[in-house]
Amino acid sequence: MLTHPLKLLRQYFGYSQFREGQPELISAIISGRDALGIMPTGAGKSICFQIPALMAKGAVIVVSPLISLMKDQVESLRQAGLPAAFINSTLTSSEYRNIVSEALKGTFKLIYIAPERLENLNFLNFLNEISVSMVTIDEAHCVSQWGHDFRPSYLKIAEMIGMFKNKPVVSAFTATATPLVKEDIVKLLKLNDPVMVVTGFDRKNLYFEVNRPDNKADFTLDYLRKNSGKSGIIYCITRKLVESVHEKLNAAGIDAVRYHAGLPMKERKAAQDSFIYDQAGIIVATNAFGMGIDKSNVRFVLHYNMPKNIESYYQEAGRAGRDGEKSECVMLFSGSDIIMNKFLIENSDRDKDAPGAPRSDKTHELRKLSQMIEYCSTSSCLRSYVLRYFGEKPDGCGCGNCGSCLGGGELTDMTERAKKVLLCIHFMGGRFGSAFTAEVLRGDNPERAREYRFDKLPVYGSLKELPAAAVKDFISALAAAGYIKVDDSQYRTLSLAEKAVSALKNDEKIMVKYKDAGIKTKAKAAPKKAAAAEAAGDAKLFDRLKALRRELADKQRVPPYLIFSDAALNGMCSLLPSTAAEFLEVSGVGQRKLEQYGKIFMAEIKRFSDSKR
Ligand code: ADP
Ligand code: ZN
């Protein structure tokens, strides 16, 4: 009965070691203690309740708010050979009856349920009739009004737990861990002296980068060509931008789907499925996309615009690389992103004026935005910036895996150009925004300039050699570096900050993290793999295995990453297994997957190796 957890990890999930936090949580749960795990996306929270489920008599009830995620998790457990089911509104009544009768027979180790079920008395009676070893609450922050996805039906969970004759163990998991939310989870879910495990926020496999391209669309096309064949998300700040980026990609022959709340439900669902099933490589979306998406092989998340705060950014970017493989998070930043975000914050509760609705705290949101801008403008380690933001203390040496640490976008002496801009703003008297300022600097709008006699200024037309967008970007880089103040009114008028006044007065050097128009991408570090040829060979095999995975997935109508993760395919490429024992060595291959897929994958690997002889 008490099979060692590590043995189960190998046998069912094909992993050789536990990750940070998992052993503590698992042993606490097995010993009968309540537990709370706060771990970032992709850290491996599921295994913390799935392994105890394997060891216990009876079933684990998993409350999860996200219907689509539920289906995925259950399918992934089935693929690993673990009997599981879900109960939510997508079931037909005969499916439901079936699951209930199997559950009463004790067939399932795990039963995922939607919280809304708990409001139904019949359902509670059913739960009371099966043997429940543990109740697990996934996305436990949903119980708290302080969290970002409060779900009223989560408040029913404590009641449900209280109704069992023998109180089951309760375990809760989330990636959100502000102190208020944490307190609420313990209190509202009535956790009894829980073991609490909080692991770091760092996602080591993610590479972070910020770019200020002269032309975002060109940058994106270029980036997608360099990353063709990979699965990625492009986040845009508005629906309109989603449409226009999506159109540009399609015009360039790139296979992309779009997703935003303005599209009919059916179309959204189709786009989402096509992305999840690896039919479309790219999805262009607003931040409405992503909740409840568990796709593990997202290789990059490209932000076409800067989002409103670091929390949103980290959550969205964090959808890359859930499988632990190297993935990229790239943000494109421009001055107009600042303006758009301010606009959105300022107008955020226009249509929410229901009586009693809380007004969002705009000062607070603007402060968060300025921290986001600071992230885009810093020349030091991006990862350290984020970790510090979340209250961690990264060491000061930099991570070695972000745009700043790998060299790009260094502080540059831009004194000469900056002086022109600052003087221009000074002469214009703090009454105009960046668009007209850029026009004056480029000599673009002579009539309007003449009206104010700005055509007589010494700096008039002094930056005409730069494209208009580059001038505006440079202005926003100066704003981000603290030389220019942008006022909060709708006109966003520019004026000189104290730092600029003193720099001009004392003839100081003006250093800005800025890249000139024309330099489109940062110099990337050379790939670490020593033999480029070997890497290319690996890539070919990887593509073949991916195609095979997709074929098998299509047959079973499941997302490809549930058959094998990208990490497992990579493992096959480097180990080139030819026996069952070798195949089991691949991380992510457990007993069931060996039986199901070992032969067919090893045959493909053999064909590939033979063809190279
Ligand atoms: P979370 O729920 O914390 O976001 P998941 O439970 O979905 O994360 O796990 C993320 C990925 O990490 C999954 O592909 C999972 O199989 C993998 N994983 C979990 N534990 C381990 C481990 N000990 N070793 C290797 N991979 C693991
Ligand atoms: Zn770094």
Q: Atom 23, ligand 1: which residue's CA is nearest?
A: 18
* Beta strand residue intervals within 339-407, DSSP E: none
Edge-to-edge strand ranges of the sheet holding 232-235: 206-211, 327-332, 300-303, 232-235, 282-285, 256-259
Is the CB of residue 565 below 6 angstroms from any atom belonging to ligand 1?
Answer: yes
pLDDT tens profile 62-106: 999 888 788 889 999 999 999 999 999 899 999 999 999 999 999
pLDDT of residue 1: 43
Listed residue (58, 220, 203, 216) closest to 136, CA to CA: 58
Cβ atoms of residues 260 and 285 within 8 Å: yes
Residue whose tokens read 């831009």: 414
Atom of ligand 1 nearest to the CA of 19: 23
Starting from the CA of residue 590, give the closest ligand: 1
pLDDT of residue 520: 33
Query: Is the distance from the beta carbon of residue 88 to the nearest atom of ligand 1 less than 6 Å?
Result: no
What tokens were used for 527? 């790939």
Q: Ligand 1 within 6 A of 45 CB?
A: yes
Residue 414's pLDDT is 85
Least confident range of 71-85, 213-227, 379-393, 443-457? 379-393
Pick the closest to residue 73 from 82, 236, 272 (CA basis).
82
Tokens encoding 57: 């008599």
Ligand 1: which atom is nearest the Cα of residue 565?
14
- Tokens 């493909």, located at residue: 604
Q: Which of 8, 17, 46 to mutate to test the pocket of ligand 1 (most atoms within 8 A of CB)?
A: 46
Ligand closest to Cα of 25 equals 1
Helix axes 468-480, 335-346, angle to 10 degrees: 70
Q: Where are the alpha helices (DSSP H) in 88-192?
A: 93-105, 121-129, 157-163, 179-188
Q: Is the shortest distance between the CB of 43 and ligand 1 below 6 Å?
A: yes
pLDDT at residue 48 tops 90? yes
What pLDDT is attached to residue 381?
86
Instruction: Read off the pLDDT of residues 470-520 as tens digits, 9 standing for 90 and up.
Output: 787 788 778 767 788 877 665 678 899 888 998 988 888 887 766 543 333
Instruction: Tell me the mean pLDDT in the region 189-214.
Output: 92
In the block, residue with structure tokens 């010494």: 458
- Nearest 5°: the CA angle 495, 500, 502 is 130
How far is the C-alpha of 82 from the C-alpha of 65, rounded, in Å?
21
Contacts of 524 (CB under 8 A, 6+ apart): 406, 408
The β-bridge relationship of strands 327-332 and 206-211 is parallel
What number of other Cβ atoms are within 10 A of residue 370's Cβ?
A: 14
Domains of the chain as residue ranges with CATH:
3-198 (3.40.50.300), 206-406 (3.40.50.300), 411-513 (1.10.10.10), 531-611 (1.10.150.80)
Amino acid at 279: Q
What ligand is nearest to the CA atom of residue 64? 1
Q: Would the pLDDT of 287 be above 70? A: yes
Tell whether pTM > 0.85: no
pLDDT at 532 over 60: no
Average pLDDT over residues 465-469: 79
Residues with C-beta atoms within 5 A of ion ligand 2: 381, 383, 398-399, 402, 405
Tell me the sheet residues that pair with 91: none
- To the nearest 10 degrees (0 to 180), the angle between helices 532-556 and 591-612 is 130
Work out the pLDDT band at 262, boundaries 50, 70, 90: very high
- What are φ and ψ of residue 31, in 5° steps? -80, 0
Cα–Cα–Cα angle for 269, 271, 275, nearest 5°?
115
176 close to ligand 1 (CB < 6 Angstrom): no
Residue 18 Cβ < 6 Å to ligand 1? yes
The three-class DSSP label of residue 586 is coil
pLDDT higher than 80, residue 232: yes
455 alpha carbon – ligand 1 mean position (Å): 62
Q: For the segment 393-426, what is each residue's pLDDT rounded down to a tens digit? A: 777 667 889 988 886 555 677 888 999 999 999 9
Exposure string over 468-491, b if 16+ CB within 10 A, otherwise e: ebbbbbbbbbbbbbebbbbeeeee
Residues 575 and 586: beta-carbon distance below 8 Å: yes
**Band of the pLDDT at 379, cuts 50, 70, 90?**
confident
Does the C-beta of 223 come closer than 6 Å to ligand 1?
Answer: no
25 pLDDT higher than 50: yes
Q: Angle formed by the axes of helices 591-612 and 67-79, to 10°?
A: 80
What does the alpha-carbon distance between residue 15 and residue 6 come to, in Å, rounded to a whole number?
9
Take residue 223 and report the two structure tokens written for it: 């980036």
Quick one: which of 138, 75, 131, 79 has its CA closest to 107?
131
Say how far apart CA 214 and CA 520 lie, in whole Å: 7
- Of 50-64, 164-178, 334-348, 528-542, least confident by mean pLDDT is 528-542
Check pocket membership of 295 for ligand 1, CB cut-off 6 A: no
List alpha helices for 189-302, DSSP H: 216-226, 239-251, 265-276
Pocket test for ligand 1, best of 47, 79, 319, 327 (most atoms within 8 A of CB): 47
Residue 271 has pLDDT above 80, yes or no: yes
What is the residue with the minimal CA distance to atom 19 of ligand 1?
44
**Residues 283 and 258 sit within 8 Å (Cβ to Cβ):** yes
In this predicted structure, the answer to whether residue 349 has a pLDDT above a threshold of 90 is no
Q: How far is residue 342's CA from residue 449's CA, in Å, rounded to a whole number?
A: 27
The full DSSP string for 299-326 is -EEEESS--SSHHHHHHHHTTS-TTSS-
Q: What is the pLDDT of residue 536?
A: 67
Q: Which residue type does 387 have? A: L
**Inter-axis angle of helices 121-129 and 93-105, to 10 degrees?**
30
In this prediction, residue 613 carries a pLDDT of 72
Question: What are the residues facing 84 on neighbouring strands?
Answer: 110
